Amino acid sequence: MESLKVINKEKLKDWAKEIFKKNTFNMIDVSSKKETFRRALASGKIYVGKEVFNLIKNKGMPKGDPITLAEVSAVLGVKKTSELIPLCHPLPIDHIATKIVMHDEEASLEVFCVVSAVAKTGVEMEAIMGVNTALITIYDLSKIVNPHLRIDNVKLLIKEGGKSGLWTNPDGLPEFLKDIF
């Protein structure tokens, strides 16, 4: 037992930081953070053109209803985020909801995805991934009719929880949120 050397936690912590701080990539160390309620809302749009828009509205798309499948895809995207984004922590997701709003005047579909968890790190990437997978699903089901599609303006709208508290996008929020914030 004489050969055992006792190292206090601080020295071990400093030792690990010293060796690994020079790495190019690091998953942020959240081991000392407290779990708190986290929630994020993201959005994005896809412009599909009048023909596709009318087919979606009238449930006439050749491959099936893009809205329903996009909502399912958003859930799968959220759940797979840490598998696709290399430095993203896997999180115990508590809630996912997706809303897709159709805009006649510009022949677009706007996707909103909210994600919440009680975790040590935020769920922003999960919300953004939910939006992206929904948009790409709509793209995939629509390209057969019109390959001239455009995905645009994917962004984080709101995040809350953790040390920084509530953050809202400085570029503004959609009308339906303006009464709340």
Catalytic residues: 140
The end-to-end CA distance of the chain, in Å, is 62
Alpha helices in the chain (DSSP H): 9-20, 50-57, 66-79, 81-84, 124-142, 175-178
What is the residue-wise DSSP string for 110-135?
EEEEEEEEEESS--HHHHHHHHHHHH
Question: Nearest to residue 82, comparing CAs of 111, 117, 112?
Answer: 117
DSSP designation for 107: T
